[in-house]
């Protein structure tokens, strides 16, 4: 997975977490992950598995379609030269 795509996924997860007033520690506990792992995902240093993305969409009550539409918006926005 390319760096820009990982960063876009991380931005969406960060947005969902912050708009739901959760800390990285709280989200990590809910997903049975470490805070460091969540931080790495949000910063684009790691890419989450599809299974983890599915868990996140269920946790925040959004569809996979909406999640990936947001990823695409961030990706296109970050890679738009015009």
Q: What is the pLDDT of residues 4-25, one digit of tens each?
A: 999 999 999 999 999 999 999 9
Looking at residue 61, its pLDDT comes to 98
Q: What 8-state DSSP symbol labels residue 77?
A: H
- Residue 51, domain extent: 3-78
Q: How far is CA 41 from the centre of its chain?
A: 7
Looking at residue 1, its pLDDT comes to 81
Looking at residue 12, its pLDDT comes to 98
Is this prediction's pTM over 0.85? yes
Number of domains in the chain: 1
Looking at residue 79, its pLDDT comes to 61
Residue 17 is part of a domain; what is its CATH number? 1.10.260.40
Cα dihedral 6, 7, 9, 11 in deg (nearest 10) = 170
pLDDT digit string (tens) for 32-71?
A: 999 999 999 999 999 999 999 999 999 999 999 999 999 9
């Amino acid at each position: 997975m390319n760096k820009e795509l990982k960063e876009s996924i991380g931005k969406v997860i960060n947005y969902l977490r912050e708009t739901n007033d959760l800390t990285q520690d709280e989200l990590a506990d809910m997903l049975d992950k470490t805070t460091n792992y969540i931080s790495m995902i949000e910063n684009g240093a790691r890419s989450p598995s599809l299974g983890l993305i599915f868990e996140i969409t269920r946790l925040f009550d959004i569809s996979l379609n909406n999640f990936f539409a947001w990823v695409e918006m961030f990706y296109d926005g970050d890679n738009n030269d015009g």
